[in-house]
Structure 1
Amino acid sequence: MSRGRKLESFKDYQRALKNKYGIGQGSAYKPWLETKDVKGHGTRSIIFGRKSQRSHHMMSSIETQLFHLAEFSDSIVDIREQFPILPLNYTQKVASMLGVKHPTHPKTKEPIIMTTDQLLTIDSTQGISYLAISVKPESESDEQRVLEKIDIERVCWELLGVKFSYFTGNELTRIQSRNLAWATAPFRENPTRFSDEQIRSTLAVIKVGQYFFEDLCNKLILMNIASHDEAQLLIRYLIADKFIDVDLSSYIPELGILGVKSIAVMQRGVMNGTS
């Protein structure tokens, strides 16, 4: 297992910036902190982004929840995790203004570069905007020190004209995220593509309503729309690429039921009518 980078002093921060950590966007962005750089008890994971075409570093299961929900949103075009708030003296001035202690490194006691868990780029009819989100479990949401550090983040972003939000996650977002992870996992680094004819034929079979997932797969096999190996993947692909809008409030693989809420119209290989 590779060792993490040393981020203990101002010289370390300068080196990180020189190596373009915390800089760029889309596939060129490198998070300030990667999973190997942080010691902790959270469930860390690396997820290849379908939109960004790069690996995203998640430091907890709640960050993963938010990532899947954000990536699935049509209006969110980029997700930059572990985003540094720079320069260092900016966060120090804000901390001083608020009358709270600036975070320091536990070993060197030197001030650290503060990061925001996820910075979202939103493309809407009003143009490009940004949303900075701090991600913390609900169990930590009333801890004084946690609130102080979040307050520094909030003020820093608001002074820059960027909206700031706080995400704790809940049982519903956990299940929704699991469904999205299940649906999209096969189509990340090595996406499987289905023909327009397969997609069109499957959409002709599926109606709004509830299906036993296994029965729907068997129907596609019997109608020669998909092979035995393809059938489940094809339905997951339709969910992942929003050809069908399904109920995400119950974990589909566990329940075995697919609740279809709406179906996209596909004409000449182009989707119409999707949200």
Structure 2
Amino acid sequence: MGRYNSEWTEDKYQRFINEGRGQGTGAEYKPWLTINDYPSMGRVSRILGWKTGRVHHLFTDLQARYFYLLEWADQVMDIRECFPLLNADEVIQNKAGLDFQCFCDKKTGTPYVLQTTFLITLRTINGKEQIIARTVKAQSELEKRLTLESLEIQRRYWDAKGIDWGVITNKDIPVSAAKNIEWLHSSKNLEDRGLDTDAAEQIGALLQEEIYQNPMQLRKVLQDFEKENLLEAGTALAVFKYLLANKRLKINITEAINLNLPANHIILGIADSSQRKVMKCL
């Protein structure tokens, strides 16, 4: 929900609209709220997205974990966080049993703008685009009356729009997978380490051959590779993460990546880019 510690007014609503919040797609999308606007009950995150090339604003660890899963899913094309349910009272024709007064500023009476956590654009198997909406909530939140009221408004809103909507809780998120993706997420490119794409690809090709089917401890393989190729300390690990982030190596993303295990226990094969898996948690 879009609640603030400060007053919510019609002027503030109009300012958000004029700023283009909740509008655009891809790199041009502006979330309705940013972490500068809204205090969070948990840790907040600013994450530069693979799909969009822009910074995403996430208010809880649970939102961030689901975001990482969306980043990993090949069928996901665009991720719009904190998507506003504009004109909800007009879009929802069946208002029976809904209490919109719960979501108004107590002092000004101005209705808050509810948001759905993620509006996601998918590329389906037949090549068509599909938009789905997902609300991310901790399981414990589902016991609260106000949360349930908000979810019912969202359900009816997206039903009226003809868009598939669902609730994602901590029970739906494979934590090990999300943590793995978080660990390698910043390694999609290695320019911050002074390695352009050509250099990363050249080193990656050598490392890939060294790692695959190697029975030695992965950490030792990486250390030896650096010594043999006169690389700066940490380069091999960075390139290993680069290979994973770009899906050049097959791993079980749902199992914690343990560098102390034999390399051939972690690396399942050389990735075939023609084989794409659908994330079940969507």
Q: Give TM-score scaled by structure 2 length.
A: 0.82
**2:99 corresponding residue in structure 1:** 100
Q: Does 1:178 align with 2:183?
A: no
> Equivalent residue of 2:182, what SS?
helix
> What whole-Å deviation, never above 9, does each CA across 1:116-167 have from its counterpart, x for those lacking one?
1011110123301111010101111232321221111011112111111111
**2:169 corresponding residue in structure 1:** 168
Equivalent residue letter for 1:36: N
Give, in angstroms, the shift of residue 236 of structure 1.
0.4
- Per mean C-alpha deviation after superposition, the further-off stretch among 224-233 and 206-215 is 206-215
Q: Does 1:239 align with 2:244?
A: yes
Structure 1 70/106 Cα, relative in aligned 2: closer, same or farther at 3 Å?
Answer: farther
**1:61 corresponding residue in structure 2:** 61
Equivalent residue letter for 1:132: A
Structure 1 172/115 Cα, relative in aligned 2: closer, same or farther at 3 Å?
Answer: closer
**1:262 corresponding residue in structure 2:** 269
Equivalent residue letter for 1:175: S
Structure 1 228/203 Cα, relative in aligned 2: closer, same or farther at 3 Å?
Answer: same
Aligned-partner Cα distance in 2 for 1:175–1:80:
24
Q: Is the 8 A contact 2:213 2:267 kept in 1?
A: yes
Give, in angstroms, the shift of residue 104 of structure 1.
1.9
Aligned-partner Cα distance in 2 for 1:129–1:170:
25
Structure 1 198/40 Cα, relative in aligned 2: closer, same or farther at 3 Å?
Answer: closer
Give, in angstroms, the shift of residue 222 of structure 1.
4.2
Structure 1 98/171 Cα, relative in aligned 2: closer, same or farther at 3 Å?
Answer: closer
Give the length in aligned residue pairs. 264
Aligned-partner Cα distance in 2 for 1:27–1:201:
34
Structure 1 274/189 Cα, relative in aligned 2: closer, same or farther at 3 Å?
Answer: same
Equivalent residue letter for 1:53: G
Give, in angstroms, the shift of residue 47 of structure 1.
0.6
Unpaired segments ≥5 residues, structure 2:
277-282
Q: Give TM-score scaled by structure 1 length.
A: 0.84
**1:31 corresponding residue in structure 2:** 31
1:1-275 to structure 2, matched below 5 A, reads 8-90=8-90, 96-102=95-101, 103-126=103-126, 127-170=128-171, 173-187=174-188, 192=195, 193=197, 194-207=199-212, 212-224=217-229, 226-252=231-257, 256-257=260-261, 259-264=266-271, 272-275=273-276
Structure 1 152/91 Cα, relative in aligned 2: closer, same or farther at 3 Å?
Answer: farther
Structure 1 188/142 Cα, relative in aligned 2: closer, same or farther at 3 Å?
Answer: farther
> Equivalent residue of 2:69, what SS?
helix
- Per mean C-alpha deviation after superposition, the further-off stretch among 35-44 and 181-190 is 181-190
Aligned-partner Cα distance in 2 for 1:189–1:90:
48
Higher strand share: 1
Aligned-partner Cα distance in 1 for 2:73–2:142:
26
Give, in angstroms, the shift of residue 185 of structure 1.
1.9
Aligned-partner Cα distance in 2 for 1:12–1:77:
31
Give, in angstroms, the shift of residue 223 of structure 1.
4.2
Give, in angstroms, the shift of residue 63 of structure 1.
0.3
- Per mean C-alpha deviation after superposition, the further-off stretch among 176-185 and 194-203 is 194-203
**Sequence identity of aligned pairs in percent?**
23
> What whole-Å deviation, never above 9, does each CA across 1:161-216 have from its counterpart, x for those lacking one?
11111111249622211111111124479565344332222222233587633123
- Higher RCO structure, 1 or 2 (CA under 8 Å, sep 6+): 2
Structure 1 242/134 Cα, relative in aligned 2: closer, same or farther at 3 Å?
Answer: same
Equivalent residue letter for 1:100: D
Equivalent residue letter for 1:147: L
